[in-house]
Amino acid sequence: MEGLACGPSDEPSEGIVVSKPTARLMMLVNAAVWGSGYTMLKHVQESMPTQWMMFFRMAAAVLLMGVVFFPRLRGIRLRRYVVPGLALALTYWLGFLFQLKGLETTSPGRNSFFTDTYCVMVPFIVWAFTRKRPSWQHLVAALVCAVGIGLVSLSGGGGAELMNMSFGDSVTIVGAFFFALNLVLVGFVGKDFDAIALMLAEFVWCALLFSSGALFTEGGPSMSWARWDIVLCLAYLVIGSTVIAQVFQTIAIQNLPTSEASVILSTECIFAMLVSVIFTGETLTVPSLCGFALIFGAILLSEIQLPAKSHESSKSHERAHAGNEPVDDRKAD
């Protein structure tokens, strides 16, 4: 998962104003960049241990963000971001550990679809924290997603290959759970902190966690990693997937309705599959295509807001007729 963007915020904020077509294009570029990042990760992972790869990515992102947002960060008391940054980093770190462990034994396309199931999980994790029950829409999305996962899991080649793919898929779904938990925690604590400073604190802790894990489990860094293809892939992940995509998303969601932005961003897994098929030779079967279609449908169903007759609206009509008050029936965008 290149970016945690399930359900962008509609809260008004000062920012760059662009036309809706431009905002849609920025969101689509964002989805394409994040989607193609899965294949980049797979390529780097074949030559570099996972935690060292993520350390270099997080450390470079911290340096870039520090330079770009230095004027904004100067007036912020960063010490109060240490604890919330650590809480977010732990879930983010675990999410990437499981996701990338799954990527070792599964293809980038499958990994992207299973990672994006975090959007379906979010309402149920919120339920666990707040006792706010998921709507029927989220329950249906979870059921559809489960059927889709089952179809994809049955599309392996059999024998040891099927066992390896199934293990990779399962581990990826565990990673999706931690990404969903991270998103929920961001929703709880993010309201009281500056978004850029909180993200920077999270990335600093992630860099420390990945470097510690790498030193204990993967040994020291190696000069054999300094190949041009590895450097280019890491540069793409840092500059493209982390900095440019994040900036594009921040601007675009300020100029688009939540539902529209979510639908466009959901195409990330489709881009990931296309890039994987073209560059890694990933093969698709009829059951897997049907499964991916169901998973994508479940993601859309969990994110968009379906029109429904509001019980509150009918009550307001009754009050209006009783008190002769005017009723504004216009729907918000």
User: Which pLDDT value is given to residue 207?
Assistant: 95
d(CA 199, CA 213): 21
Q: 155 or 205: whose pLDDT is higher? A: 205
Residue 165's pLDDT band, with cuts at 50, 70 and 90, is low
Question: Is residue 82 predicted with pLDDT exceeding 90?
Answer: yes
Residue 319's pLDDT is: 44
Cα–Cα distance, 55 to 234 (Å, whole number): 11
Which pair of structure tokens corresponds to residue 194? 């500056």
pLDDT digits (tens, 9 = 90+) for 13-54: 445 688 888 988 988 998 899 899 999 999 999 889 999 999
Residue entry with tokens 């990404």: 179
Per-position b or e across 80-111, b if 16+ CB within 10 A of its CB: ebeebbbbbbbbbbbbbbbbbbbbebbbbbbb
pLDDT for the residue 154: 64
Question: Among the ranges 7-21, 146-160, 204-218, which has the highest mean pLDDT value?
Answer: 204-218
Q: State the Cα–Cα distance between residues 73 and 75, nearest whole angstrom.
A: 6
- DSSP class of residue 319 equals H
- Domain residue extents for the chain: 20-306
Cα separation, 126 vs 121, whole angstroms: 9
What is residue 247's predicted lDDT score, i.e. its pLDDT?
Answer: 75
Cβ neighbours of residue 230 closer than 8 Å, sequence gap 6 or more: 43, 44, 47, 48
